[in-house]
Amino acid sequence: MTTIYHNPRCRKSRETLAILEEKTEDITIVKYLETPPSVEELTEIIKFLNISPIDLVRKNETVWKENYKGKEITNTELISVLSKYPILIERPIVVKDNKAIIGRPPQKVVDIL
């Protein structure tokens, strides 16, 4: 099964979903702004991505700039912030088995299919 953490308003996310629909049949679409991933889910996704939590943050978002930019924050706290404010999560994220990739550019998603 392939899961995409998707924002339908994002062009890159829509392009990534189109590639998935072309390449695979078993897709779960998670509209993460409506159904934010839990701290546990985000911890697992970050592990699968093999990145630090800060690498998953959209640093140009107002929520980040006004509340967190330049502040000392632990990885655990940061994961909680991402769960609370899913707009801060870089998108789209595609997870398959124990691997994940951020679909930027969208063609990168083919690497884990």
Catalytic residue among 4, 5, 10, 30: 10
How many helices (H) does the chain have, and how many strands (E)? 4, 4
Which residue, 54, 35, 51, 50, is CA-closest to 98?
Answer: 50
8 Å CB contact between 37 and 47 = no
8 Å CB contact between 26 and 63 = no
Is 81 assigned a catalytic role?
Answer: no
Active-site positions read 10
